[in-house]
Amino acid sequence: MWTRVSGMVLRYLYLYRRSLARAGEVFFWPIMDLMVWGFLTVYLQRHVVADAVLFLIGGMIFWDVLYRSQQAITLSLSEEIWIKNVINIFIAPISMFELLLSVCLMGVIKAGLATLVLGTMAALFYTFNIFTLGLALVPFLGILLLFGWAVGMITMALILRFGKAAEALVWGIPFLLQPLSAVFYPVDVLPAGFRHFAGAFPSTYVFEGMRHVLQTGNVDVSMMVKALVLNGVWLVIGSAFFGWMLGQVREKGFLSRLGME
C-alpha cells in the first residue's frame, strides 16, 4: 500500500516542482495574509492598548493550517477533473483510501511548510513567537489538519456529485466555517444562536484554546478533549459521506461525465 501512496505523493510533488504557479500558491497567499494581518496588528498595537490584537496573527497562522489541509484534498482531486484525468485515477490499481491518504499527506507537507515560513516571518517582523504555545502547538495543529481532511472529503464528495457547477465550494466552504470557528475573536462575540453552531466545530476549540494559552500560559485540557472528540465525529461523517456519494456517482454514471466536461 505504501508504495502506491508514496507514488501518488511523488506525482503531486512533481507537479509542484514543474509549475512555479503551484509552488508559489503554497507560500504566496499565506504570506500576503500574514502581511495584511500583521501590519494591521502593528497599527492596532500603536493605537489600542490591548495585547489581544496579537491573537490576530496566531489565528491567521492556525487558520492557514486548516485551509491548506482542506485544499490539499479538494484541489488535488479537482485538478484531475480539470485535466480530464479523473477516470484514469479511478481505474488505476489504487484504492480510494490510498488516494485520500496520499492527498492528505500532501496537505501535511503544504501546511507544515506554510507554518514554518509564516512562523519565521511572524517572529522576525512582528515579534510573535508561535512556539510560546509550547507542547500545545502539536495537538492544536494536528486537530486542525484532521478537521481540514474531514471538510475536504465533504467538499470533494459534493464536487464529484454535482460536477464543475460546485467547484466554488472548494474555496467557499472553508470561509463559511471561518466566522463560526471564531478565528480572530472569542466565541462570546457571536450572537447567542451562532454560538451553538460554533460549538459543533473542533476548530472553534483550537482557536479558543490558542488564545487561552497566549493569555494565561496554561492549556485548557477540556477544550482539547472536546476538539479531539468532535474531530472523530467529523472524520466519520466526512469519510462516510464521501464513500456514499462516490457510490452514487459510480452507480449513476456521473464519473464518466466528469471526465468529459
- What would the pLDDT profile of 158-215 be if each residue is shown by its tens digit? 888 877 667 777 777 888 888 888 888 788 878 888 888 888 999 999 988 888 887 7
* pLDDT of 19 strictly over 70: no
| Sequence-separated (6 or more) residues with CB below 8 Å from residue 62 | 140, 141, 144, 183, 206, 207, 210
More confident residue, 20 or 157: 157
Candidates 105, 77, 83; CA nearest to 249 is 77
CA dihedral 232, 238, 242, 244 (to 10 degrees): 80
How many beta carbons lie within 10 A of that of residue 156, not counting itself?
A: 28
| Whether this model's pTM surpasses 0.75 | yes
Q: Which three cell numbers stand for residue 97?
A: 483510501
Domain holding 250, by residue range, is 2-260
DSSP 8-state symbol, 163: G
More confident residue, 134 or 261: 134
Task: Give CA–CA dist 234/132, Å, rounded.
Answer: 29
- What would the pLDDT profile of 60-110 be if each residue is shown by its tens digit? 888 888 888 888 888 777 777 777 776 777 677 777 777 778 878 877 888
Query: Per residue, what are the HEC states of 19-73?
Result: CHHHHHHHHHHHHHHHHHHHHHHHHHHHHCCCHHHHHHHHHHHHHHHHHHHHHHH
Is residue 9 within 8 A of residue 72, CB to CB? The reply is: no
Split into its structural domains, the chain has a count of 1
* pLDDT of 5 strictly over 90: no
